[in-house]
């Protein structure tokens, strides 16, 4: 669906017709909130197939493309979109992903992607990439992503072990973007946790690689929004097991994930309580 923003920004940014391709509702909400602040009109496609269909109907000026999605992923979608028309042979398609190894970047480039933005996405990086492609389409906007921890004053009394459980800068960044909605999203994440762990266990012990890949990817991308980088990293390893079909180490990884998830959720539950108290 097309979403209209309401704030005011320079014409170069305002006039962009942008497509967000993302299957994670939490990430869609975060990207949407930032884009609305920038007065960007945008549409959302939930997977690669929907993205191709949307591009067949409308000449988007810029596409923010998730990589791992059910059905058709971002790489395959990009290849299809590049063949649609002369417009789409040149339109910027930006990978939005946490997978940024040299092999990954080579794959994105070979598929026809123009650039990338690292997940978790922050407001500065997103604004920079949109502004760059709104003007010259060739601007160099790559910059390192800060990972230092900023500890909220209300949690200064927790243990060092608990502080290390999260990337507080990421949590605060998304909290600032989402404002009142972040507590609702976090509550949903925590409630879904036990069911997710059980589903992952079933996939691991049932040796269902395809389901493991899908579930682990969902947990990986959602966990990073709340600063749960350790959970996200282990989920990424499980995702790789599912994708490759090499399940020998999946059981040990799931055990490690369960321990890490419980540790992280203990801290997130504290944070949620304080959010509900308006702190």
Q: Which region among 101-105, 126-130, 202-206 has the lowest average model confidence (pLDDT)?
A: 126-130
How far apart are the C-alpha atoms of 113 and 82, rounded to whole Å?
9
Dump pLDDT digits (tens) for 47-84: 999 999 999 988 888 999 999 888 899 999 999 999 99
pTM score > 0.85 for this model? no
Dump pLDDT digits (tens) for 202-235: 999 999 999 999 999 999 988 988 888 889 999 9
Q: How many C-beta atoms surround the C-beta of residue 271 within 10 A?
A: 23
Domain containing residue 93: CATH number: 3.40.50.2300
Together in a domain, 110 and 202: no
The confidence score (pLDDT) of residue 163 equals: 57
Together in a domain, 6 and 131: yes
Together in a domain, 91 and 59: yes
The confidence score (pLDDT) of residue 53 equals: 94
Statement: residue 98 has pLDDT above 80: yes
Q: Tell me which of 27 and 116 has the higher pLDDT.
A: 116
Residue 160 is part of which domain span? 153-276
* Tally of domains in the chain: 2
Statement: residue 106 has pLDDT above 80: yes
Statement: residue 161 has pLDDT above 70: no
Together in a domain, 111 and 181: no
The confidence score (pLDDT) of residue 162 equals: 56
Together in a domain, 114 and 229: no
């Amino acid at each position: 669906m097309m979403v209209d923003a309401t704030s005011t920004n320079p014409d170069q940014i305002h006039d962009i017709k942008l497509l967000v391709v993302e299957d994670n509702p939490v990430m869609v909400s975060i990207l949407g909130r930032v884009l609305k602040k920038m007065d960007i009109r945008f549409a959302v496609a939930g997977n690669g197939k929907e993205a191709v269909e949307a591009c067949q109907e409308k000449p988007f000026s810029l596409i923010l493309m998730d990589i791992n999605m059910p059905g058709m992923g971002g790489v395959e979608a990009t290849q299809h979109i590049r063949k649609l028309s002369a417009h789409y042979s040149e339109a910027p398609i930006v990978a939005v992903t946490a997978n940024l190894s040299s092999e990954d970047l080579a794959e994105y480039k070979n598929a026809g992607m123009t650039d990338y933005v690292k997940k978790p996405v922050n407001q500065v990086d997103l604004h920079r990439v949109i502004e760059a492609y709104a003007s010259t389409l060739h601007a160099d906007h790559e910059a390192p992503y800060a990972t230092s921890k900023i500890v909220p004053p209300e949690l200064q009394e927790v243990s060092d072990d608990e502080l290390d459980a999260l990337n507080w800068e990421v949590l605060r960044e998304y909290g600032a973007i989402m404002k009142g909605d972040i507590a609702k999203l976090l509550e949903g994440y925590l409630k879904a946790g036990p069911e997710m762990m059980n589903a992952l266990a079933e996939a691991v012990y049932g040796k269902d690689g395809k389901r493991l890949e899908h579930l682990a990817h969902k947990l990986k991308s959602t966990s990073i929004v709340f600063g749960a980088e350790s959970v996200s990293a282990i989920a990424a390893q499980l995702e790789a097991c599912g994708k490759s079909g090499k399940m020998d180490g999946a059981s040990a990884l799931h055990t490690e994930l369960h321990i890490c998830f419980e540790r992280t959720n203990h801290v997130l539950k504290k944070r949620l309580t304080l959010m509900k108290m308006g702190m």
